Structure 1
Amino acid sequence: MRVLQLIDSLEAGGAERMAVNMANMLSETVERSYICATRQEGLLKATIKPEVSYVFLNKQRALDWAAISKLRRYILEEKIDIIHAHSTSFFMAILMKWVLPKLKIIWHDHYGDSENLKNRKYGVLKFCSTYFSLIISVNTDLKNWAHSHLNCKKVVYLPNFVVQEKDLHKVTQLKGISGKRILCLANLRAQKDHHNLLKAFKLVHKQYPEWTLHCVGQDFKDRYSDSVYQLVTALDLEQQVYFYGSCSDTNAIIGQADIGILSSSSEGLPLALLEYGQGQLPIVATSVGNCVSVIPEACREFLVPPNNPELLAEQLMVLISDGILRQHTGDLIHQHVMKHFSALTVKEKLMSFYTEL
């Protein structure tokens, strides 16, 4: 079995991390494991294992004949059986299916705005879904949506997963006081609702002025990111809130933090929560998407409604005020994540899907 993970970029986003993690994981199982970035490389390129074959297309437009020809030749030369297309890369996968009909196409839906599926545009996706052999959804809402709206008969739910790395290569040094750091792993996108986070942190800062907030994620230099920085200034938090951009050393960063937070207005199944859990961080998060599945029942008081900075701040302060509770909560979440979202558990399910094809 030879499987190609297809992804538009290798920037440090959730879907991109999952594509790389799957390619790395499968290199130990299938005959050959491959990954292809269609449009853009990025930080995650350095995390691809040597055993995984990598190709970059440098695609410049929707119908880039040079990129299409390059991928077709590569698939033929490597005798690839399955293309596992992540997020918006499905169109390139379907082009390959049209010229190489024996290919099996899996589409992996990482759509993060699952609270607003009624507004999702899916005309092209619906047409292409006729050629999918399987759709994998990262939460049950997306699975149900695909069943109702797309033309692929086989749709399954497969959770995101975390990969345990032995070494923490420490590059990024978090600012602030050790033992008093709140971490938010989230690209600067509107659905991550940093406005909610900053308003909550302002309330926390009034009670606990030594605590600091650390935001790690890609800055797209757009109106949303501008609005986030403007709010930091308006709330007079320039000395307490730090932005680091995209970072590849996530484990090392988590190792320096004390609480993990996610303030999103909408989610799929956020990898950030799984990474917090793997790193034994206690978590405060909004109850959107499949976030609830990451938090064990005993810790669900730390799930709050979206767009409610008062409640978000309240639960943050519960953890800040009690170091023993922070440790206990982090341990419970860690055990839950490693039991239900480990690479081994997901690999077995994924291999069964591939084998059926």
Structure 2
Amino acid sequence: MRVLRVLHNLEIGGVQRQLLNLAPHLLKEMELHICSLGGGGALEASFEELGIKVCHVDLGWKYSPLGIAKLSRIISRGGYDLVHVHRMESIVFPVVVASLGAKVPVVVHHHFLYKWLSQRKKLLESWATRIALGVLAVSHPVMEHSCRELGIPPHRMMVVYNGVKGDRTPLKSRDPWLVGMVARMVRHKRVDTFLHAAARLVSIFPTVKFKLVGGGEREERYRELAKELALEGKVVFTGSVLEVEGEAERFAIGVLPSENEGFPNTLLEYGALGLPMVASSIPQNREVVEEGREGLLVPAGDPDALAQALATLLLNRALAKRSEKMAKRRAEKFNLSRTKRNLITSYHRLLKTKVPSSSPEDIGS
């Protein structure tokens, strides 16, 4: 099987990193190519090192007939059995139209709860998604949202959870007073909530420190906020990092206070490292963290509740230790071999072809 995955860019982001981690598993079962509609990015070389062919198509105006025709020619000449487009930055409509023009079936992958689409974009996405061969979602909340917002019949959607690399033994010793967060510096991740909670904690725990791993459009704004909150010397911003595990493995607690997620890859990464977690109690996060087991849940946008939960785990080492074990067990259920198997099964069901028998890496996963 030859599959073309289409993304809006190859910068460091949750969707791109998930595909990069999953790609070595997929390459054992198929030929995989990638098309980026927004130029290259920091991860392009990493994909090429795996032997994956990467192409770029500049659509210009997203719905440009010339851009769509160019993409259609690339799809037609590629000999693909399937096009797999990731619903990002309004690229679904042009990719679906281009695939139909090339007479190649297309699958649309939903990763997020889009709540700000204009009526025009919503109509175009609804039409494109409805005529696609099938629709994948990264979580049940995303599936339910897509059915409700775009009018997709539930029987046409399948949930394929993201995966995480297997059990990891931290190479660095853990800092018992380091509270960290891995996230892109964008609004819905609520880095501001993290910083306000940090300001409350430093007055109680003089030795506590904080680290923010990730870059993004709001990084400078959050650096300024840290200064305003007198957190200089207490919080470290790393900027964009490819191997986030090397930063996160030193955390005592992993935090994710976001107000919106598709599926929280960050929580899986925390779990694989055996980190107790504090996360916002949105439905997507509750698919990974159960209150009092893998960690603690707090209302999104509530720095007081976040600070209190962090203080609880910093003081109650027995609870933190139990959460570490539970988090590891939980992450094991979301291994990449299982994600690969579920994705390939979905492909074959949609194409009405025979599902291959499990490869050795799938046994017991």
TM range (shorter): 0.7 to 0.9
| Preserved CA contact (<8 Å) 1:212 1:241 | yes
Partner SS state of residue 7, structure 2? strand
Alignment-derived partner of residue 145 in structure 2: 145
Q: What are the equivalent positions in structure 2 for 1:231-250 lying under 5 Å apart?
A: 231-250=225-244
1:95 is the counterpart of 2:133: no
Q: 1:209 is matched by which residue type in structure 2?
A: P
Partner SS state of residue 262, structure 2? coil
Cα deviation, residue 317, structure 1: 1.1
In structure 2, relative to structure 1, the CA distance for the partners of 1:165 and 1:96 (3 Å cut) is farther
Cα deviation, residue 33, structure 1: 1.4
| Preserved CA contact (<8 Å) 1:282 1:327 | yes
% identical aligned pairs: 24
1:344 is the counterpart of 2:328: no
Alignment partners' CA distance in 1, 2:263 and 2:85: 18
Q: 1:308 is matched by which residue type in structure 2?
A: D
1:10 is the counterpart of 2:26: no
Alignment partners' CA distance in 2, 1:58 and 1:19: 21
Structure 1 gap ranges (5+) = none
Partner SS state of residue 215, structure 1? strand
Alignment partners' CA distance in 2, 1:333 and 1:7: 31
Alignment-derived partner of residue 45 in structure 1: 44
Q: 2:227 is matched by which residue type in structure 1?
A: T
Q: What are the equivalent positions in structure 2 for 1:207-356 lying under 5 Å apart?
A: 207-220=204-217, 224-296=218-290, 298-299=292-293, 302-339=296-333, 341-356=334-349
| Preserved CA contact (<8 Å) 1:97 1:131 | no
User: Deviations along 1:100-159, whole A, 9 cap, x unmatched?
Assistant: 12x11111111155xx58988612211212321111112222212322343654112222
Alignment partners' CA distance in 2, 1:259 and 1:131: 44
Alignment partners' CA distance in 1, 2:281 and 2:118: 20
Alignment-derived partner of residue 362 in structure 2: none
Cα deviation, residue 165, structure 1: 8.9
Cα deviation, residue 14, structure 1: 1.2
| Preserved CA contact (<8 Å) 1:25 1:343 | yes
Q: 2:35 is matched by which residue type in structure 1?
A: C
Cα deviation, residue 161, structure 1: 1.3
Cα deviation, residue 343, structure 1: 1.1
Alignment-derived partner of residue 356 in structure 2: none
Cα deviation, residue 58, structure 1: 4.5
Structure 2 gap ranges (5+) = 352-365
Alignment-derived partner of residue 82 in structure 2: 82
User: Deviations along 1:34-86, whole A, 9 cap, x unmatched?
Assistant: 22221032222243252432223344432567765664444344311111111
Using structure 2 for the length normalisation, give the TM-score.
0.84
- Measured on the aligned residues, the alpha-carbon RMSD in Å equals 2.9
Q: 1:26 is matched by which residue type in structure 2?
A: L
Q: Of 183, 189, 198, which aligns to 1:201?
A: 198
Alignment partners' CA distance in 2, 1:65 and 1:165: 47
Q: 1:266 is matched by which residue type in structure 2?
A: N
Alignment partners' CA distance in 1, 2:167 and 2:325: 18
Alignment partners' CA distance in 1, 2:140 and 2:323: 26
| Preserved CA contact (<8 Å) 2:73 2:102 | no
| Preserved CA contact (<8 Å) 1:143 1:157 | yes
